Structures are given as C-alpha cells and as structure tokens.
Chains A and B, each alone.
Chain A
Amino acid sequence: MPGAAERGAELREQMEAFVARLRGGGGRPRSEDTARHTLALLRKIIAHGHWGSAGELMELIRAEGRRMAAAQPSETTVGNMVRRVLKVIREEYGRLRGRSEESDQQESLHKLLTSGGLNEDFNTSYPTLKANVIEAINELLIELEGTTDNIAMQALEHIHSNEVIMTIGYSRTVEAFLKEAARKRKFQVIVAECAPFCQGHEMAVRLSKENIETTVMSDAAIFAVMSRVNKVIIGTKTILANGALIAVSGTHTLALAAKHHSTPLIVCAPMFKLSPQERSWQRSMFTAQCLTTSRQSSLLSSFLTSGVTRLPISTAS
C-alpha cells in the first residue's frame, strides 16, 4: 500500500530527525518538549507501525525507545516516557482481557510473592487495543501540558513576603513558580549565574521583567551569600529512584551550603522527570559523549564546564 509505505518512510524520517536532535546541535530543548515529542513519535509508531499483538507492540516500542535513549543517555525523559507508554499498553491490554483494577493490584502483589514474574503472554490480539492505547497517550499529552501550571499553583504556599530566595541556572519550572508567587507577594531573588554558559543571566532577565527584585551573583559567592537566604528553590533534570538529583553543575555545592545554614531546599520537577533508575552515573559515559560532540552541542552544554582533561557534571543527593 503506497499510503502505508509513505507513512512508514515519513515516520522513519521523523525518528531520525528526533534522534539527531537528541544527540546534539541547536539550542537546549525543554524536557517537556522532549517528552512531548517522544510521546508523539511513539503514538505515530503505534498508529502506523506493523504489529499484531500487544507483545509485538511492546517489543517494537522497546526497540525504538532504546535507540532514542542511546542517542542521549543523559536525557532520561525519553526513557521515562517510553516506560509510561509501555505501562499504558499493559493496562489497556489488561482491561481488555477483562480484569478490574483492584483485583489486578491484589493479584499482582500476590503474584510478586508467589510466582515472582509476569505470566502474561500478551499474545492475544484485540482490534480495539490500538485505539485505546492512542487515546491513553493523548491523555498523557494533555497531562504533560499542565504540569508547569500545576507546580506554579503551589507557589503561594511556599513563598512568603519579604523572603530572599536563591536559585541556580535557568529552570523554566522555577521561573513559572516564582512568577506566580510574584503576582501576590513581594520577595527578592538571588540567581547564581552558572558559568561558563551563564544561564542564570537569562533567568534574571526574565524574572526582572515581572518586577521581581533580582540579584545575579557568581557561583563562587553561593556560600558567602547563603547566610542571608531564606529558601532555595531549584529545578532539576532528573530525579533518580534513590532520591538523587541530576541537575545543573553547581547544585551540589548549593545543596551543601543550604544544609550548612539549615536553609530549606525545594526542588520543582514534574512527574516525567522521575526515573526508576538508580545507578550512579559513570563519568566515562559523559566524557565519551563530550569528545565526540562539538562544543556548541546543546544538551551537553548545559551540564558541562570547559575542561582540559575532564568534563564534569555535578550530581546532588
């Protein structure tokens, strides 16, 4: 069928473009944009891919997901979205098989204790599975759009008048958070600029446009200024399963300084940044990446500092 072949080719092109963009080049994309694109691509794969049963679909998704994640291991959002889609497929399949939600949970816990493994074969094919899965993915997309606003709505609970808030680098979630609070409350913000790319400057400019009193300072002054700060609010790239953060370079210092001064630290992150992985990051993985990409590379650039022999990333726990 020419239509299907065209669609297949188009799909493959989009996949290639996405993978290439993940690998580097261009501006730093938002995690939310990456998540949305991943979901859109996966939806297309489900709609136009060749698969028969749920099991085949899951294999297909896994394979594509692995390829996308391999292009940029530090971008964990891709992996998280793939896992969510797989979970959606499993749920829809289970629902179609005729099991209710509660018994499913009970059974799965019982199963965990006794059999220790899924004995679902996912081999029966249901005609409505595709439509259900696509609908569920659409719901996911809608949920994605609202995450920043949902986080920003809680701003007034945490920020009070005449407080001095410290943040680091440029996080759009934190920007929305602070802007929402600034509509009702007056407070000051101190931004650490995060050399050498100085994303903090952009953050400060945007905040000051909302008439928030902003001060930019160098990373070296983080500890020096911390004695006057009431709260630290940061964004992050990933939250690992053991509670560790993978965030912009300098966050660990910020967290240590806040701990020393007993200043509360708040991390604003949407759900799709929660990763079930727990490994400690290997340095070699990142150095290998950096040697192959140009210095203007987008994703890596936000986390790396210029180095002669090592290209470091900071993790905070």
Chain B
Amino acid sequence: MSREEKLQLRKEKKQQKKKKRSEKGPAAEPPEQGAAPEPGQPRVTPHPSSSPTLADGPSDGEKPTGGKSKAELRAERRAKQEAERAQKQAKKAELGQAATPAKPRLTPTEPPTVVKRLPEHVQVDDPAALRKLAKKLERQQVPLRQDYGTKVNLFSHLHQYSRKKPLTQQMSIPSTVIHPAVVRLGLQYSQGIINGSNARCIALLEVFKQLIRDYSTPPNEELSRDLVAKLKPHISFLNQCRPLSVSMGNAIKFLKKEISCLPDTLREEEAKEKLQSTIDNYLREKIVLAAEAISKSAFEKINDHDVILVYGCSSLVNRTLCDAHMQKGRAFRVIVVDSRPRLEGRETLRRLVRKGIHCTYVMINAISYVLPEVSKVLLGAHALLANGSVMSRVGTSQIALVSKAYNVPVLVCCETYKFCERVQTDSFVSNELGMVSVPFFPPGICSLLLRLGSTGHAELSCHSSS
C-alpha cells in the first residue's frame, strides 16, 4: 500500500510541476510528460505495435504550439485519468494484496524506458515517423531527400529514394550550416565515388578533423557541448546523402564520447589538438594496424597451390592477398566473383592483376561451376552483428551457402570496430536500397537492388553455414 501512496504522491508532484510549466508557456513543456500519462490506460496491457510510435514522442520532436487552452485541457484530462487510476487501485487493494505488487508496475508515470526505439530508417511506412524526420531536418537546415514514385511493396518499410536530383541541389551555395568539406563528402557518398566501409569511415574521420580545425567556440559556450551540437546537422546531412554505415556509426559514437569527455580546463587550441590526435590514433589503431594484424594471421591460412575465391571488393581481403603474394611469395590463384549492377569485382581484379596474381573473373551465377576447384573462400564484412551474423554486400550469403554445399571453408575478415549490437534475421528487416540504372522499364516493373543486407551466420575462420 505504501508503495501505491508513494506513486500517487509522485504523480501529484509531477502534475503540479506540469501546471506550473503550462502557465509559463506551452512550448516550454517537455513532450515527455505529455506523452506519458496518455498511455496510462493502454499501458495496463502493453501492446508492442503501439509502443514505437509512443516512444518517438520523447525524442526530439517539437510539440505543436497550440494556445494555452490545449495545455489546460490536457492537464484536466490527466487529472481525470489520475483520479480514475487512484480509484481502480484502491478497489484492487481491497480485493487482494497479491495482485497489487503487479499493478503499480503496469501503471507507471515515467516515460516508457523498456520500449525499444525503432530506428527511423525502417519506419518509412509510418507517416508519423516521416513527419518527425522532416521536422528534425528542417530544424537543422538539412534538405530532405525525395522519395521514388512507385515503390516495391516488399520494401515499403525502407526508404526508396529517387535518383533524379542530388541532394545538394536543394541547398544554397555556400551553405551556412553545413561545412563545404562535408557537402563534398556527402556528394561523394551519394554518387558512389567513395565506397566500402573502411574507405567511408576514413574519409569521414578526415573530414571531421578538418571540421574541428575550422571550428571556433562561440562566446559563452563550452567546446565539449557545442561541438557535439554542431556536428549533428552534418551527420544528418551525411545520413540523408547515404545512410551511415556501421563503421561510420561507431566512429561517430567514439568521437562524440571523446568530445564530451574533454576536460573544461583545456584551452580551445589544446582541445582541438587533442581531438585531432585522438582521431589519428583511432584511425591508426582500429583501421590500419588492425588490417596489418588481420592480414598477418590470414595469410598463414593461404598455402601454396591454393585456389581462393573472393567476392566483390573488400580492402582487407585485397590487402591480405597482396601481402601473401608479395611478402611471402605464396603461389596461389584467385577467382574473383562479381555481380551486377555495381560490378565491384572489377576493381578487385584490377588491383590483384597489377600485383601479378593469377586471376579468374566470373559472375555470381557461375559459382556452382567454379566451386569444385576452390580450396578456400575469403570474404570481407561490412559489420558483425550481435548474434554472430555477418552483414556484407548482397550476394555474400549466397556464396557461403553454395560453398557449404561443396564443403569449402569460408573465412570472413572483419575489424573489431565494425562490431555492432544489432540483430537481424533476414535481409528485409533493415537494409539500404540502391538505385538502379538500367534501361527504362515500362511501368509495372519494379527494379529491386539491395545494397547490403545479405546476412548469414558465419563462424570466423572455419566452415560457414548461411
């Protein structure tokens, strides 16, 4: 009982606070309090489908600035609900004590913290989520990307962007909010000039270094807080140009943490120097040194007279093969598998042939033909998920599947900074849809291009199944 009384006291205090704030102005009222009591009734039986939209409330959406009457009405409604809930609890308390411990947990007034927030990019079919995104981008002065006209139904929960105009045409030159280096980077991403998770991450960090160099703290602001706030519109812009990769996401998280952990005693110049050196360290340790270490241990597995199959273009795999060929002088040959429409295998082919490695080039529908003579498959990864699945370019899981049918061992090379906590069961759950550049199809045909998202379970180093 005392627990219930405490909860009630808390509720009443919060109500008073709300009333005070609503007297000041409705815009100042945090939306969390607005959203929380309304789910009071539905929260008694928590329903998963409603929670994502409710959970979006507490995030950075702005409340419509209605008149004071709206806030007052809401406060009245809340008071009514509280009263009803108090009555219910009193009744239940009379009935039995066993039921009561469960009830308070089901009628919280805090914002729902157990609900998982869905990322925005898998909620494209929800108009509320789209509106929120549009508002957020407007606030940050980042242009919103146009959607494609006819959509593929299978992917209605993902963004399907139009390729007609690049994002930057909607921006003024020079842009006041976005640094020009970031604009250039965004264009390079969206046009596919910079490709591959390592390359994108390195480019991102270099541009951030330049951003930090050109940054100057405005008066009366803390560098650690202001810089993070200044980075946000740039990150949104890059996200709109092309969804962030896992490697980029992890790098950004690291950078934000470093910035916010800066001690206040440092002068601006020192702080910027420190940040630059931190970024350099990150680049060197997580990407360059990691690549060396992986390459060293991977080419132990490459023997003489091996036939190695690679897919697409992975910087790590290319490096491993080149090192094995040049430094250790192993005699092996490579089969490069490629797929339309990006045809990234040609880049791999170019690099390997230049080093003098004997290569064969096939398309992906020929893998059943070449696999009987392959001794190992070497794959790169875009990310490693929390359940052990490997996320990589579309087509990788096919290669793993057919390799298993032929009992060929599959090795996946992946740096640790690409590990992420997501879990995905198949390629539809979350993905990035590319744009197709094929001859015009008459209306009625949708061209489908999955950029990523071929997930498969892989045991790093030995046989794989997918």
Contact = CB atoms under 8 A, between A and B. Distances in A.
B447 A220 contact: no
Contact of A307 (B360, B393, B402): B360
A309 interface: yes
Could you say which of A188, A224, A316 has the most chain B C-beta atoms within 10 Å of its C-beta?
A: A224
A52 to B, nearest CB: 48
Contacts of B444: 208, 211, 213-214
Contact of A253 (B362, B370, B402, B449): B402
Contact of A195 (B365, B370, B442, B453): B365
A249 B365 contact: yes
Contacts of A201: 438-439, 441
B345 to A, nearest CB: 11
A250 B448 contact: no
Interface residues of A, number: 48
Contacts, number: 156
Main secondary structure of the interface of B (DSSP, over half): mixed
Interface in A177-233: 188, 190, 193-196, 201, 204-205, 208-209, 211, 213-225, 227-228
A257 to B, nearest CB: 6
Contacts of A211: 444
Contacts of A164: 154
Given A224-B453, A306-B363, A310-B360, A219 B448 contact: no
B80 to A, nearest CB: 45
A167 B427 CA distance: 19
A14 to B, nearest CB: 36
A206 B445 CA distance: 10
B368 A195 contact: no
B194 interface: no
A315 interface: yes
A195 B438 CA distance: 13
A260 interface: yes
B445 A216 contact: yes
A307 B361 contact: yes
A252 B393 CA distance: 20
Contacts of A216: 438, 441, 445-448
A218 B366 contact: no
B362 A310 contact: yes
A224 B370 CA distance: 21
Contacts of A188: 153
A205 B446 CA distance: 11
B363 A253 contact: no
Main secondary structure of the interface of A (DSSP, over half): mixed
B8 interface: no
Contacts of B370: 310, 312
Contacts of B441: 201, 204-205, 208, 216
B450 A305 contact: no
B449 A217 contact: yes
B395 A220 contact: yes
Interface in B88-139: none
A193 B341 CA distance: 11
Nearest to A229: B154
A314 interface: yes
A146 to B, nearest CB: 30
Interface string B371-412: 000000000000000000000011101100110010000000
A19 B340 CA distance: 35
A54 interface: no
A1 interface: no
A220 B368 contact: no
Given A193-B340, A256-B401, A314 B366 contact: yes
Nearest to B393: A220
A201 B447 CA distance: 10
Nearest to B154: A228
A313 interface: yes
B466 interface: yes
A248 B369 CA distance: 12
B367 A253 contact: yes
A223 B398 contact: yes
Interface in A241-274: 248-250, 252-253, 256-257, 260
Nearest to B343: A195
B425 to A, nearest CB: 8
Contact of A219 (B153, B340, B401, B427): B340
A209 B370 CA distance: 37
B442 A205 contact: yes
A118 interface: no
A291 interface: no
A114 to B, nearest CB: 43
Nearest to B446: A215
Contacts of A312: 362, 366, 368-370
A220 B339 contact: yes
B359 interface: yes
A308 interface: yes
Contacts of A208: 441-442, 444-445
Nearest to B363: A305
A310 B335 CA distance: 10
B17 to A, nearest CB: 49
Given A224-B394, A225-B427, A253-B367, A204 B445 contact: yes
18 contacts: A201-B438, A204-B441, A216-B438, A218-B395, A219-B364, A220-B340, A223-B454, A227-B426, A227-B427, A249-B363, A249-B369, A252-B402, A260-B401, A283-B369, A306-B361, A307-B361, A310-B370, A312-B369
Interface of A: 164, 188, 190, 193-196, 201, 204-205, 208-209, 211, 213-225, 227-228, 248-250, 252-253, 256-257, 260, 283, 305-310, 312-316
Given A224-B394, A308-B361, A313-B369, 8 more contacts: A195-B365, A201-B438, A208-B444, A215-B448, A220-B454, A225-B448, A248-B365, A250-B366
Interface of B: 152-154, 339-341, 359-370, 393-395, 397-398, 401-402, 405, 426-428, 438-439, 441-442, 444-450, 453-454, 466
